[in-house]
Amino acid sequence: MAIRTDGRPGFLKRRAPLPSVDSIPAPRTADRELPGAAAPADPPSGERLQDTREAHSVGDGFDDVPGIADLRHRTIVIDRLSPGDDGAIPDPTYTVNGQFQPEIDIQPGEIQRWRIANAEPDRAMWLHVEGHTLHQIGQDGFPFTLLRPVTSIMLSPGNRAEFLIRATRSGRYRVHAESYDQGHPGGARPAVELATMVVSGRPVVSRLPRQLDEGPQMPIGPVVRSRTLHFGRDTPGGKWAATRITVDGRELDADWFHHEVTAGTVEEWTLINDDVFQHPIHTHVNPFQVVDVQGIPAGDPSWQTDPDIWWDTYRIPSNGQLTIRMYFRPDVTGKTVYHCRILPHEDNGMIGTLLIQPPADTGEPLPGSSPPRQAPRESRSSRRALSISTATAGSDGST
């Protein structure tokens, strides 16, 4: 399925910060994630949802957009508890902000803004809210320009999404992850009850905003290079414990770089999955847009392939391939990585290294050559300070 073939990217006008749930160093990342979110050992259900730590923020691109700024908003982090040794907690047990199946209150007709992250180490959460439309306004920390009404949102491990939800009539509605087959030889992962949305109280009249804000855009200019990367797995002797999960046949080697790129350029990467698992690939520093996906299972509606959306985590279908277009922001150089966001896969070697070289000195200004400043998060003017300048990007196309 070809999604975009014009080869003419637009330009990155502004960008939201890139908050991620993937930022705490640990010897094995899966070990960091698995303890869950400090939930009680015997989690009671039906408590009111508590808000969670700002460290898990999903993006702040709408804090001053009319029609959104005043809404009640919730930051919701899905995670999984460590089962422990005594068998007291069923494995797996999924939590929402460290709580077990909490209640989320909302009035009839009220619109709330939900910012939701899948911090789970290895399973996709195909999010549904019973009887309700999710009006998506952002993905992976990047704001949309227009509302996208959807009936579900797929959250691979590491994905974040932001949406508006308008409550219908009084009642109790399931917030749940639908059963989904990630290509695991063990079959589809079962459905998960996450929370209950409780609609009650005085009805309110509300209207969804029509216009959001200006979303980031790809810079105009050539795709300077195309690359092909292979993601695979081999199991010497057929033992899972010895499984090597690799990028281009190699495991992580911190002294060697899979690829070198130049800051301020645009490249297209085709990621080929030689394995039966869907591998959600997460890029650090630079997000990307999806150009082409091949191998989406027939009848699987969970894939969002709109070419305008920016991502930092996206699945490669089982034995399929994904082509992404990545803009290496001009203000960041140095070493970084990309990896499978199924953390046991990353720990077993599915992590690639990238060296971002400074741009060649052509005497021409680069788009966004003023580095983004760290600014307070509250005001529109401070968000503009995080924007990448458009003045030079559109005029001469230099990248």
By the criterion CB under 5 A, which residues form the site for Cu ion? 279, 340, 342, 345
Cβ distance to Cu ion smaller for residue 218 or 293: 293
Give the CA count within 13 Å in the CB-facing half-sphere of 236.
2
Cβ distance to Cu ion smaller for residue 105 or 248: 248
For residue 177, the minimal CB distance to Cu ion (Å) is: 19
Residue pair 220/152 in contact by the 8 Å Cβ criterion: no
CA distance 144 to 133: 17
Cβ distance to Cu ion smaller for residue 113 or 315: 315
* Alpha carbon separation from 224 to 10, 220, 270, 289, 393 (Å, rounded): 15, 12, 14, 16, 16
> Nearest-CA neighbor of 215 among 61, 27, 332, 350?
61
Cβ distance to Cu ion smaller for residue 160 or 279: 279
Cβ distance to Cu ion smaller for residue 350 or 354: 350
For residue 345, the minimal CB distance to Cu ion (Å) is: 3
Residue pair 37/53 in contact by the 8 Å Cβ criterion: no
* Alpha carbon separation from 220 to 9, 283, 308, 327, 362 (Å, rounded): 5, 22, 14, 10, 17
For residue 259, the minimal CB distance to Cu ion (Å) is: 19
CA distance 209 to 164: 10
Is the N-terminal amide bond of 359 cis, ω within 30° of 0? no
CA distance 57 to 51: 11
Residue pair 100/60 in contact by the 8 Å Cβ criterion: no
Cβ distance to Cu ion smaller for residue 342 or 366: 342
For residue 162, the minimal CB distance to Cu ion (Å) is: 25
For residue 156, the minimal CB distance to Cu ion (Å) is: 10
Give the list of residues 6+ apart from residue 280 with CB closer than 8 angstroms, or none. Answer: 124, 156, 157, 158, 159, 313, 314, 315, 316, 340, 341, 342
Cβ distance to Cu ion smaller for residue 21 or 342: 342
For residue 327, the minimal CB distance to Cu ion (Å) is: 24
For residue 280, the minimal CB distance to Cu ion (Å) is: 7
Give the list of residues 6+ apart from residue 27 with CB closer than 8 angstroms, or none. Answer: none
For residue 282, the minimal CB distance to Cu ion (Å) is: 10
Cβ distance to Cu ion smaller for residue 13 or 345: 345
Buried b (16+ CB within 10 A) or exposed e, 162-193: bbbbbbeeeeebebbbbebebbbeeeebeebe
For residue 114, the minimal CB distance to Cu ion (Å) is: 27
End-to-end CA distance of the chain: 28
Cβ distance to Cu ion smaller for residue 87 or 186: 186
Q: Give the SS3 label for residue 329.
A: coil
For residue 241, the minimal CB distance to Cu ion (Å) is: 17
Cβ distance to Cu ion smaller for residue 13 or 279: 279
